């Protein structure tokens, strides 16, 4: 994940995440940025001040092969307590607690 100064348009930092980063979403308070890695199958949670990965979230859905679980989109609730992760071809959305980083449930969609 690249961090770019919006005034100078220069790269200020780079944080390694899994294969094929797809989407980034900041928590409402700006403390973290969540980055999905489509091929890597994970979401990396980055501390915005330290520019370090604090948690790598993995997903597992009973009956689905790991390669079909591809995190793509991320939406974080306005209160910052839940993250909703679209899991691409798996046709599920993961609901993640943003404090514990635990997947609370998977919602079947599509």
Q: How many residues does the chain have?
A: 110
Q: What is the pLDDT along the chain (110 residues), one digit of tens a residue?
A: 999 999 999 999 999 999 999 999 999 999 999 999 999 999 999 999 999 999 999 999 999 999 999 999 999 999 999 999 999 999 999 999 999 999 999 999 97
CA 43 to chain centre: 4
Contact 21, 42 (CB under 8 A): no
| Domains of the chain: total | 1
Judge whether 43 and 55 are in contact, CB under 8 Å: no
pTM of the model: 0.93
Sign of the CA dihedral running 66, 82, 31, 100: negative
- Domain span at 24: 2-108
pLDDT value for 72: 97
Query: Which phi and psi angles does 62 have, rounded to 5°?
Result: -55, 130
**CATH number, position 35:** 2.130.10.10
Which sign does the torsion angle of CA 26, 99, 22, 3 carry? positive
CA distance 82 to 63: 25
């Amino acid at each position: 994940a690249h961090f770019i100064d919006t005034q100078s348009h220069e790269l200020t930092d780079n944080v390694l995440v899994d294969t094929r980063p797809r989407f980034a979403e900041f928590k409402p308070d700006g403390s973290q940025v969540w980055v999905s890695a489509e091929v890597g199958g994970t979401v990396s949670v980055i501390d915005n001040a330290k520019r370090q990965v604090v948690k790598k979230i993995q997903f597992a859905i009973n009956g689905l092969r790991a390669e079909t679980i591809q995190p793509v989109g991320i939406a974080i609730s306005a209160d910052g307590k839940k993250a909703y992760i679209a899991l691409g071809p798996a046709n599920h959305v993961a609901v993640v607690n943003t404090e514990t980083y635990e997947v609370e449930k998977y919602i079947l969609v599509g």
